[in-house]
């Protein structure tokens, strides 16, 4: 075997099996060492398989009536059926698309306004003074609590749902952008001024870039919260969307559709987070390495 | 021929308990083109305060600082800064860090590139232009910091314990580099250090400061910096003259510590 093949096999093993038998073999203290929990993807696969098997076994044993506990196969059949025939006028991907559109709109607007407001709060006493009580006041209120208000004010269109998701995103982004500004080492700012940068250039080339890792972490959290708030948002008198589909199906005790929707939302949420993590690695490769 | 003048600089901070802290009292000195001035003194004697006033980050309570006939009223590209650590932009490559100043000044990319390669050559980092900062060792990062401030062609280079975070061997190499840059670029250098040996070796002039209130107790004019590149640094540091100065300064610093 060539050198690079050995290395590939080694990293493959590390990824799937973990480091306790691999690289960390020579260490005697592994309990408490973060390196001891690296890798081990195989256990994740096993865990998902186990859940699937238990699910199937319970369904086959008919301990719980299929109405409440449909089998994995039945749920998959529903998935195919709704993907091709649709559910109440829209097919599955249209429901998904509508939901994604709402999330993206609310999330996008939240970032668009949240980043400048957060930067402003981190840089200016007046902006901080004005915005701080407002944001601190509404931030702890769960979005579900202002659904009725949103219906009263915005009606049942997409606007209300987007507003709800916007509010959920906005406070998270503001706080992370503000923390990002606060995290800049004063030497960096001093260095930039000494290199002849103007105020505007310091903002753009030092403060903003320096805040990007924090802002991006905030965006990932906000995206998770948004996706989670979606069901609440689609309770605002919707007639489409995966959140609405789940709620609607539960009324008719279509447990298979409910389960399918829940799994679908989980998978899509996971995929979104994975994309954002990849994007983060690409856009912010220096994250966590700030010793320059 | 540029000149830096510090005239009657006094700095009084408001302390945490509301008591005034007299960090600097009536500092006067001037330096010109041939000078590399090192500053030595116990912790809290106002070295960083003085440097930050010259850099323009602090307004003195009274007194003025001039470069030639321009009075300093804020930071500017005529005074390059080298910090102990943490002042490089880790989101930029080595080359982008070095060309940061020219880029801010709006100089176009092609003419920037040529001078970057020249500067990296000068500080011994040829071939590292596209390396990310975070992949460099501490000593290499300080080389980048030096190149970055030289890119703006400043009149004076201000350094606050630039080699303080480096290991002993790297530190000695970097001392030679500082001397080389001083001799080749003909810039004024103002360097704060905690190492007595470093202050003597690098300073054509050495200011010893004492605290409460911060003031200059004694100034030395030393020959070692001028000789530092032509002779073996270790020989210079173990020469009789060098050791005599070192003992004198250590004596002064010890007696300062005992008074408090
Ligand atoms: N922002 C500030 N507010 C109040 N007091 C300050 C402030 N900055 C510095 N001081 C005080 O001024 C004095 C001089 O501080 P300075 O940082 O200039 O000392 P230094 O000689 O650089 O010390 P070191 O060798 O530890 O770096 C110290 O007594 C310090 O406590
Ligand atoms: Mg200091």
Q: What is the pLDDT of residues A56-77, one digit of tens each?
A: 999 999 888 888 889 999 999 9
Three-state SS annotation for chain A: CCHHHHHHHHHHHHHHHCCCCCHHHHCCCCCCCHHHHCCCHHHHHHHHHHHHHHHHHHHHHCCCCCCCCCCHHHHHHHHHHHHHHCECCECHHHHHHHHHHHHHHHHHHHHHHHHHHHHHHHHCHHHHHHHHHHHHHHCCCCHHHHHHHHHHHHCCCHHHHHHHHHHHHHHHHHHHHHHHHHCCCHHHHHHHHHCCCCHHHHHHHHHHHHHHHHHHHHHHHHHHHHHHHHHHHHCCCCCCCHHHHHHHHHHCCCHHHHHHHHHHHHHHHHHHHHHHHHHHHHHCCCCCCCCC
* CA-based radius of gyration for chain B: 19
The answer to whether residues A123 and A12 belong to one domain is no
Sheet containing B70-71: which strands, arranged edge to edge? Answer: B20-32, B3-14, B62-67, B70-71
The pLDDT of residue A217 is 94
Indicate yes or no: CB of A196 within 8 angstroms of CB of B104: yes
- Is pLDDT larger for residue B89 or for residue A14? B89
- Nearest chain B Cα distance for residue A49, angstroms: 41
Q: Once rounded to an integer, what is the mean pLDDT over residues B181-210?
A: 94
A288 touches chain B (CB under 8 A): no
Q: Once rounded to an integer, what is the mean pLDDT over residues A188-201?
A: 95
Maximum distance among all alpha carbons in chain B?
A: 58
What token pair was written down for B25?
């009292």
**Is residue B45 within 6 Å of ligand 1 at its C-beta?**
yes
Q: Is the pLDDT of residue A197 over 60?
A: yes
Task: Using pLDDT thresholds of 50, 70 and 90, give the confidence band for residue B233.
Answer: confident
A contacts of B141 (beta carbons < 8 Å): 292
Q: How far apart are CA B113 and CA A119, in angstroms?
A: 32
| Cα torsion A14, A17, A18, A23: sign | negative
B126 CB-near residues (< 8 Å, 6+ apart): B117, B120
Give the ipTM. 0.93
The answer to whether residues A41 and A149 belong to one domain is no
pTM reported for the whole predicted model: 0.87
Enclosing H/E stretch for B180: helix B168-185
A12-21, A28-37, A120-129: segment of lowest average pLDDT: A12-21
User: Can you give the residue ranges of every domain in chain B?
Assistant: 3-78+157-258, 86-153
- Say whether domain B3-78+157-258 belongs to CATH 3.40.50.300: yes
In 3D space, the residue among A2, A8, A6, A34 whose CA is nearest the CA of residue A19 turns out to be A34
Indicate yes or no: CB of A201 within 8 angstroms of CB of B104: yes
The answer to whether residues A228 and A139 belong to one domain is yes
Indicate yes or no: CB of A286 within 8 angstroms of CB of B87: no
The answer to whether residues A41 and A109 belong to one domain is no
Task: Kindly state whether residue A151 falls inside one of the protein's structural domains.
Answer: yes
The answer to whether residues A119 and A146 belong to one domain is yes
B contacts of A285 (beta carbons < 8 Å): 132
- Is pLDDT larger for residue B254 or for residue B209? B209
Task: Using pLDDT thresholds of 50, 70 and 90, give the confidence band for residue A21.
Answer: low
The pLDDT of residue A249 is 92
Task: Give me the CATH number covering residue A264.
Answer: 1.10.3720.10
Task: Kindly state whether residue A173 falls inside one of the protein's structural domains.
Answer: yes
Q: Is the pLDDT of residue A2 over 80?
A: no
Task: Kindly state whether residue A76 falls inside one of the protein's structural domains.
Answer: no
Q: How far apart are CA A86 and CA A96, in angstroms?
A: 11
Q: Once rounded to an integer, what is the mean pLDDT over residues B62-88?
A: 92
For B105, phi then psi, to 5°, come to: -80, -5
The pLDDT of residue A198 is 95
Indicate yes or no: CB of A185 within 8 angstroms of CB of B89: no
Task: Kindly state whether residue A171 falls inside one of the protein's structural domains.
Answer: yes
Q: Is the pLDDT of residue A24 over 60?
A: no
For A210, phi then psi, to 5°, come to: -65, -30
B47 CA → ligand 2 middle, Å: 6
Task: Kindly state whether residue A19 falls inside one of the protein's structural domains.
Answer: yes
Q: Is the pLDDT of residue B2 over 90?
A: no
| Count of C-beta atoms within a 10 Å radius of residue A44 | 10
Q: Once rounded to an integer, what is the mean pLDDT over residues A102-108?
A: 94
A186 CA → ligand 2 middle, Å: 14
The answer to whether residues A91 and A169 belong to one domain is yes
Indicate the number of domains in chain A.
2
The answer to whether residues A183 and A213 belong to one domain is yes
Q: Is the pLDDT of residue B33 over 90?
A: no
What domain range includes position A215? 82-283
- Of A194, A209, A285, which is closest to B75 when you measure between CB atoms? A194
Enclosing H/E stretch for B32: strand B20-32
% of residues, chain B, pLDDT over 90? 75
């Amino acid at each position: 075997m060539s050198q690079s093949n050995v290395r590939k096999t080694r990293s493959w093993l590390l990824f799937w099996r973990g480091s306790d038998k691999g690289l960390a073999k020579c260490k005697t203290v592994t309990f408490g060492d973060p390196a001891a929990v690296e890798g081990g993807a195989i256990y994740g696969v096993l865990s998902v398989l186990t859940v699937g098997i238990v699910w199937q076994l319970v369904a086959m044993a008919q301990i719980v009536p299929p109405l409440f506990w449909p089998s994995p196969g039945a749920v998959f059949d529903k998935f195919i059926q709704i993907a091709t025939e649709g559910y109440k006028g829209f097919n599955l991907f249209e429901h998904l698309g509508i939901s994604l559109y709402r999330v993206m709109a609310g999330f996008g607007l939240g970032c668009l306004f949240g980043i400048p407001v957060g930067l402003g709060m981190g840089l200016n006493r007046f902006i901080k003074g004005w915005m701080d009580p407002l944001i601190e006041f509404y931030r702890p209120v769960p979005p579900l609590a202002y659904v009725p208000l949103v219906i009263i004010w915005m009606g049942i269109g997409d606007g209300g749902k987007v507003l709800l998701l916007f509010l959920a995103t906005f406070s998270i982004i503001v706080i992370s952008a503000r923390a990002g500004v606060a995290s800049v080492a004063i030497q960096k700012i001093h260095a930039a001024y000494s290199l002849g940068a103007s105020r505007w250039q310091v903002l753009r080339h030092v403060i903003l870039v320096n805040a990007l890792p924090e802002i991006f972490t905030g965006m990932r959290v906000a995206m998770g919260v948004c996706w989670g708030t979606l069901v609440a948002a689609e309770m605002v008198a919707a007639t489409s969307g995966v959140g609405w589909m789940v709620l609607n199906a539960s009324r008719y005790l279509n447990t298979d559709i409910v389960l399918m929707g829940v799994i679908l939302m989980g998978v899509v949420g996971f995929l979104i987070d994975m994309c954002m993590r990849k994007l983060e690695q690409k856009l912010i490769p220096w994250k966590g390495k700030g010793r320059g | 021929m540029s000149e830096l003048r510090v005239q009657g600089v006094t700095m009084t901070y408001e302390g945490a308990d509301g008591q005034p802290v007299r960090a600097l009292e009536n500092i006067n000195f001037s330096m010109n083109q041939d000078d590399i001035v090192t500053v030595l003194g116990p912790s809290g004697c106002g070295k960083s305060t003085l440097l930050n006033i010259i850099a323009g980050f602090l307004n003195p309570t009274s007194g003025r600082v001039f470069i030639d006939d321009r009075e300093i009223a804020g930071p500017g590209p005529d005074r390059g800064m080298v910090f102990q650590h943490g002042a490089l932009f880790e989101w930029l490559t080595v080359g982008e860090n070095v060309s940061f100043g020219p880029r801010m000044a709006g100089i176009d990319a092609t003419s920037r590139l040529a001078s970057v390669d020249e500067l990296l050559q000068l500080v011994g980092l040829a071939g590292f232009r596209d390396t990310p900062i975070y992949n460099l060792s501490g000593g290499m990062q300080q080389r980048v910091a030096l190149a970055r401030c030289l890119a703006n062609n400043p009149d004076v280079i201000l350094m606050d314990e630039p080699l303080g975070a480096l290991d002993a061997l790297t530190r000695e190499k970097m001392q030679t580099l500082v001397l080389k840059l001083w001799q080749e670029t003909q810039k004024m250098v103002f360097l704060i250090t905690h190492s007595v040996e470093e202050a003597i070796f690098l300073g054509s002039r050495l200011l010893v400061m004492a605290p409460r209130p911060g003031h200059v107790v004694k100034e030395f004019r030393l020959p070692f910096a001028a000789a530092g590149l032509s002779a073996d640094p270790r020989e210079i540091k173990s020469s009789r003259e060098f050791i005599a100065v070192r003992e004198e300064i250590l004596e002064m610093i010890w007696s300062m510590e005992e008074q408090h």
